């Protein structure tokens, strides 16, 4: 019995070339499962970071294998949740936090950036002042 595309995308033994193919599937749930996969290539995550579906992009922003280059490009994502996940990502860099701080801001995102130990003092000061206005 063969696995469905969804099952293949969720299977921890699915090889990277198959995941790459599944990443362009028309079903967003398959693409989301690929974005959640623990053995996905950085290039595939980068491709999925521009997906039309917010849940796919959320999965990319939560995947521990998403690199700082992809996180940087996702800083302007329209989703508040995606940007919030980026601010808490283990691969987040000072540059990513700074780019995030310059974009569309809300209270949760500002607080998350302030709490991140990688954030520079000048960014913390700016966001603390901004929080008083929000």
Structural domain boundaries in the chain:
1-66, 67-134
Handedness of CA 112, 113, 115, 116 (dihedral sign): positive
Q: Please report which confidence band the pLDDT of residue 1 belongs to, taking 50, 70 and 90 as the band edges.
A: low
Among candidates 90, 94, 26, which has minimal Cα distance to 64? 90
Mean pLDDT of 17-33: 97
Mean pLDDT of 13-42: 96
């Amino acid at each position: 019995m063969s696995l469905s595309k969804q099952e293949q995308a969720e299977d921890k033994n699915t090889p990277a070339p198959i995941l790459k193919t599944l990443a362009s599937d028309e079903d967003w749930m398959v693409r989301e499962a690929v974005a959640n996969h623990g053995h996905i290539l950085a290039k595939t995550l980068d491709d999925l970071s521009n997906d039309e579906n917010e849940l796919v992009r959320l999965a990319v922003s939560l995947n521990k294998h998403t690199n700082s280059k992809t996180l940087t490009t996702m800083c302007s994502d329209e989703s508040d949740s995606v940007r919030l996940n980026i601010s808490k990502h283990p691969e987040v860099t000072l540059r990513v936090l700074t780019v995030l701080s310059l974009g569309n801001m809300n209270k949760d995102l500002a607080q998350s950036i302030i709490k991140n130990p990688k954030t520079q003092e000048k960014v913390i000061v700016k966001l603390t002042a901004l929080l008083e206005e929000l």
